């Protein structure tokens, strides 16, 4: 029984234009490059080449092959930027996890010492006396809220600078990747040559970046502090303790939101726009490369 590919090849040999034959071979090359699998065999490619009879057919056939070569080089360059962007996002995620740990430490120490009683008072006094607690990437301090001191861990200035530099670098790479992908799609559209494997690969990259950016931001999104409020109801022994707990909840809510500047600084992939000047240069370069190959 004839396979789907063999039937497709037979139709191409019998009725397809030089362009369509070339596009079939170009898609085969893209499939081999991306997935290491073939759409048609080497012998079938040779049959397609031998079926070209006119000079016009040959030009149309070769153009599709040249488009695939230009796209292959462009995809390779885009992949470098894509992987650099993933690396930047991984670094940012590492910093964000440390910042989240700061919040956990704050909440842990403050929750331990908010209640009254001998042990809790001793812990509270100890906390007040240790304003020099070591904290990686953070600066340990105390902040007064309604007459009560709370542990407050601020991001060290040099680390804050580093975080914003990484976010700026990631944003620039996002623009480059988006521009490169848009350029590739426009180039294929302009030459009426849609290479499925390359198109699918670029779509996978973009979906991966959308999810990756959301994952990076997730640790610093504010927690639902309201769900903790019930913890104070079973231990309320007086108005002062209730006020202390309310102050604690307010402070925890502020702690959960104090890193939002980093979340807001990192844009979603969808909100980034292509660089029009860079896009024009890419399309011009790819078109010149195609024309140069066509002259050979």
pLDDT-based confidence at 236, cuts 50/70/90?
very low
What's the rounded Cα separation, in Å, for the pair 238 and 233?
A: 11
CB 40 within 8 A of CB 5: yes
CB 179 within 8 A of CB 275: yes
* Nearest of 212, 213, 248 to residue 229 by alpha carbon: 248
Q: What is the pLDDT of residues 105-143, one digit of tens each?
A: 887 777 766 655 555 566 656 655 555 566 778 787 777
State the virtual CA torsion across 162, 165, 170, 176 in degrees, nearest 10: -160
Q: What is the pLDDT of residues 6-19, one digit of tens each?
A: 666 666 566 778 88
With a cut of 60, say whether residue 225 has pLDDT above it. Answer: no
Q: What is the pLDDT of residues 257-271, one digit of tens each?
A: 778 889 999 999 999
Residue with tokens 């078109």: 287
In sign, the C-alpha dihedral spanning 100, 104, 110, 115 is positive
On the CB side of 249, CA atoms within 13 Å amount to 16
Q: Please give the distance of CA 58 from its chain centroid, rounded to a whole number.
A: 42
Lowest mean pLDDT among 227-231, 239-243, 289-293: 227-231
What's the rounded Cα separation, in Å, for the pair 194 and 207?
A: 20
E-only strand ranges, 92-181:
138-145, 148-155
Q: What is the pLDDT of residues 195-220, one digit of tens each?
A: 999 999 999 999 999 999 999 998 88
């Amino acid at each position: 029984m004839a396979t789907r590919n063999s039937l497709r090849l037979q139709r191409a040999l019998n009725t397809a234009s030089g362009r369509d034959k070339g596009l079939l071979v170009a898609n085969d090359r893209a499939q081999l490059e991306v997935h290491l699998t073939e759409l048609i065999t080497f012998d079938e490619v040779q049959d397609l080449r031998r079926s070209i009879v006119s000079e016009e057919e040959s030009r149309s056939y070769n153009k599709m092959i040249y488009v695939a070569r230009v796209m292959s080089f462009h995809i390779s360059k885009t992949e470098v930027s894509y992987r650099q962007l993933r690396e930047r996002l991984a670094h940012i995620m590492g910093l964000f996890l440390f910042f989240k740990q700061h919040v956990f430490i704050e909440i842990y120490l403050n929750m331990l010492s908010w209640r009254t009683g001998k042990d809790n008072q001793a812990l509270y006094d100890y906390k007040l006396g240790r304003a020099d607690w070591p904290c990686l990437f953070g600066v340990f301090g105390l902040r007064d809220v309604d007459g009560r001191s709370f542990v407050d861990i601020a991001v060290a200035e040099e680390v804050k600078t580093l975080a914003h530099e990484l976010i700026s670098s990631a944003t620039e790479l996002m623009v480059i990747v988006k521009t490169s992908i848009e350029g590739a799609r426009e180039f294929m559209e302009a030459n009426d040559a849609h290479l499925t494997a390359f198109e699918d690969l670029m779509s996978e990259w973009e979906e991966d970046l959308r999810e990756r950016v959301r994952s990076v931001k997730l640790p610093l999104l504010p927690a639902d502090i309201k769900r903790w409020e019930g913890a104070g109801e079973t231990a309320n022994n007086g108005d002062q303790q209730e006020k202390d707990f309310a102050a604690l909840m307010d402070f925890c809510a502020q702690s959960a939101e104090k890193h939002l500047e980093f979340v807001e600084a990192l844009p979603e992939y969808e909100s980034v726009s292509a660089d029009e000047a860079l896009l024009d240069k890419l399309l011009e370069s790819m078109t010149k490369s195609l024309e140069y190959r066509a002259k050979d």
